[in-house]
Amino acid sequence: MYLEQLRWPDGFRCPRCGSTDAWQTGRGLWLCRRCRRQTSVTAGTVFDRSRLPLSLWFRAMWQVTNQKNGTSASTVQRLLGLGSYQTAWAWLHKLRRAMVRPGRDRLAGVVEADESDVGGGKPGKRGRGAQGKALVLLAVQLQPGKKIGRIRMRHVPDASGQSLVPALESMVTVGSEIRTDGWRGYNELESKGYRHIVVRRSAEIGEDLLPVCHRVVGLLKRWLLGTHQGAVRHEHLAYYLDEFTFRFNRRTSASRGMLFYRLAQQAVQVVPAPYPKLVAHNP
């Protein structure tokens, strides 16, 4: 079975005791000989306790990965004939949680970082959080020839150093060069072991992003407005950022074909309970 090969590429392993000695008792069910635990191939995965057939899940994953801009809950509901919008919405959210590889590596080398307001409302003063807007911190790895490499994004509560610097530490390897504007929230980067280059003295928010970040944020905003019609709530924004990042970092033709496989593979990785803790986001 495809799912079993994805989940246990080296053969079954008991999630409780780690033993590889087990009976296969039925459809996707394994009985550990050592501790007698019965394990379903979907237990502890994104598909856990789903009453709907896996084939529908795979179609949803296909929609998410096959469309250049992903898909919305209402489209998935319609295409798969799901009874409720909530189910489609919940599925897409569960899949988004599978788009973050546990322990994924951080950016390295030369990185451009900036923050931008996302969502409705008017631009406001930096560090206070503009009204009705969410603040997104973006880090873009620069490749030779000013090409855009991989990205990382984080929804941060404000633009203070206490928010920005730890977020960058989680996204960029120590020792890397980080280029920012002159905003004081980045002042502590040097003391945290980064080479901090201020490439622009001014420190305004919104329209005046550093060039590479500006391009990526433009794509992000267009995606949020287009595919999701601007309906993303702040408490869910982090997961949408994960989806955007997942797709953006695999945007070359060579890696696009891997999207479906990667998503399926990550969706069945064993996730220790409680589930939401693993994918803890701030805020």
The residues that touch Zn ion, with contacts defined as CB under 5 A, are 14, 16-17, 19, 32, 34-35, 37
Q: Which is nearer to Zn ion, 37 or 59 (CB)?
A: 37
Shortest Cβ 43–Zn ion spacing (Å): 13
Instruction: For 220-271, give the DSSP string.
Output: HHHHHHHTSTT---HHHHHHHHHHHHHHHTT-SHHHHTTHHHHHHHHHTS--
CA pseudo-torsion sign 211, 110, 259, 138: negative
What distances in angstroms separate CA 56 from CA 8, 233, 243, one per listed residue?
22, 26, 20
Exposure string of 229-263, with b = 16+ CB inside 10 Å and e = fewer, is eeebeeebbbbbbbbbbbbbbbeeeeeeeebeebb
DSSP state of 202: -
Q: Which is nearer to Zn ion, 21 or 208 (CB)?
A: 21
In this structure, what token pair is assigned to residue 149? 């490499």
Shortest Cβ 31–Zn ion spacing (Å): 9
Shortest Cβ 21–Zn ion spacing (Å): 8
Give CA–CA dist 27/40, Å, rounded: 8
The H-assigned helical ranges of 137-248 are 161-171, 211-226, 234-248
Shortest Cβ 273–Zn ion spacing (Å): 16
Segment holding 77, helix H or strand E: helix 73-80
Shortest Cβ 22–Zn ion spacing (Å): 7
Q: Which is nearer to Zn ion, 16 or 184 (CB)?
A: 16
Q: Which is nearer to Zn ion, 39 or 116 (CB)?
A: 39
Q: Which is nearer to Zn ion, 38 or 75 (CB)?
A: 38
CA 100 to chain centre: 5
Q: Which is nearer to Zn ion, 17 or 174 (CB)?
A: 17
Shortest Cβ 12–Zn ion spacing (Å): 10
Shortest Cβ 23–Zn ion spacing (Å): 11
Q: Which is nearer to Zn ion, 20 or 86 (CB)?
A: 20
Shortest Cβ 27–Zn ion spacing (Å): 20
Q: Which is nearer to Zn ion, 11 or 53 (CB)?
A: 11
Segment holding 135, helix H or strand E: strand 134-143
Give CA–CA dist 259/188, Å, rounded: 37
